[in-house]
Amino acid sequence: MNIEVIHLGPMANCTYLVTQDGNALLIDPAWDMNALEQTLKAKKLNLLAVLFTHGHFDHVKTAETLLKAHGLRAYIEENDVLLSGLPGEVLQPYHGEQNLQIGPFKVHIIPTPGHTAGGVCILIGDALFTGDTLFPGACGRVDLPSSDPREMRKSLYRLSQLPDDTQIFAGHSYGGKSGSFISYERQTNPFMRNAIKDKDIL
Q: Write the CB contacts of 92 (distance below 8 Å, at least 6 apart in sequence).
A: 73, 74, 75, 76
Kindly list the distances between the CA atom of residue 190 and the CA atoms of 91, 184, 194, in Å, as whole numbers in the listed order: 35, 11, 6
Write down the pLDDT at residue 199: 78
CA gap 29, 50 in Å, rounded:
8
Q: Which of helix, strand or coil describes residue 97?
A: coil
Q: Average pLDDT for residues 66-78, to the nearest whole number? A: 98
* R_g of the chain, CA atoms, integer Å: 16
Q: How confident is the model at residue 197 (pLDDT cuts 50, 70, 90)?
A: very high
Write down the pLDDT at residue 202: 66
Write down the pLDDT at residue 28: 98
Q: Where are the domains of the chain?
A: 2-201
Could you list the beta-strand ranges (E) of the chain. Answer: 2-8, 13-20, 23-27, 46-51, 74-77, 91-94, 98-102, 105-111, 120-124, 127-131, 134-135, 138-139, 167-170, 179-181
CA gap 49, 103 in Å, rounded:
9
Write down the pLDDT at residue 122: 99
pLDDT in tens, 146-194: 999 999 999 999 999 999 999 999 999 987 899 999 999 999 999 999 9
Residue 40 has pLDDT above 80, yes or no: yes
Q: How confident is the model at residue 9 (pLDDT cuts 50, 70, 90)?
A: very high
Q: Are 181 and 166 in contact (CB under 8 A)?
A: yes
Q: Which of helix, strand or coil describes residue 146?
A: coil
Q: How confident is the model at residue 124 (pLDDT cuts 50, 70, 90)?
A: very high
Q: How confident is the model at residue 200 (pLDDT cuts 50, 70, 90)?
A: confident
Percentage with pLDDT > 90 across the chain = 96
pLDDT in tens, 81-94: 999 999 999 999 99
H/E run at residue 73 = none
Class of domain 2-201 as given by CATH:
alpha beta
Q: Average pLDDT for residues 52-65, to the nearest whole number? A: 98
